[in-house]
Amino acid sequence: MREICLDSNVLVAAFASRGLCADVLRLVLDEFELVLPEVVADEVRRVLRDKIRLGEEADQAAADFFDRVPVVPRGNEPPPVDVRDPDDARVLADALRGGARLLVTGDQDLLEVAERSRVPILSPRAFLALVRFRSG
């Protein structure tokens, strides 16, 4: 489980405040390979620019982040399971296409299909618990 996809809600929370999601992002960048679908990158940029309006320093940190992380282009493959929200379905399909072995999200629509998905889908808290369990 080296390749991890973080959904947009996790990344937005990581950039917007300190806490659980910031810890998850730091851990993934330090110990795993981040899989970043284009649909996630676009959503994070939009939310940070239009809704969160980060300060200049945080905004620059986010811009630097996106300059360094390779982005998985949008694909046409269907998601492996039916997901209520088409945007979430695209996230799941593109995460798999990019080689993600696990998806970390706070999105309820994705968490609801976790048991039927080929790739494990965990909340940020469950992901941290899993990593701590495996390393402890």
The predicted model scores a pTM of: 0.92
pLDDT at 84: 93
pLDDT at 8: 96
The answer to whether residues 91 and 37 touch, using CB atoms and an 8 Å cutoff, is yes
pLDDT at 9: 97
77 by Cβ neighbours in 10 Å (0-12 / 13-18 / 19+) ranks as: exposed
CATH number assigned to the domain covering 3-135: 3.40.50.1010
Ordered mean pLDDT values, 10 residues apiece, the chain (136 residues): 94 91 96 96 88 74 86 91 93 96 97 94 96 81
pLDDT at 51: 84
pLDDT at 136: 66
User: How remote is the C-alpha of 85 from its chain's centroid?
Assistant: 16
- Residues near 13 by beta carbon (within 8 Å), at least 6 away in sequence: 19, 20, 21, 22, 106
Distance CA 21, CA 25 (A): 6
Q: Tell me the domain boundaries of the chain.
A: 3-135
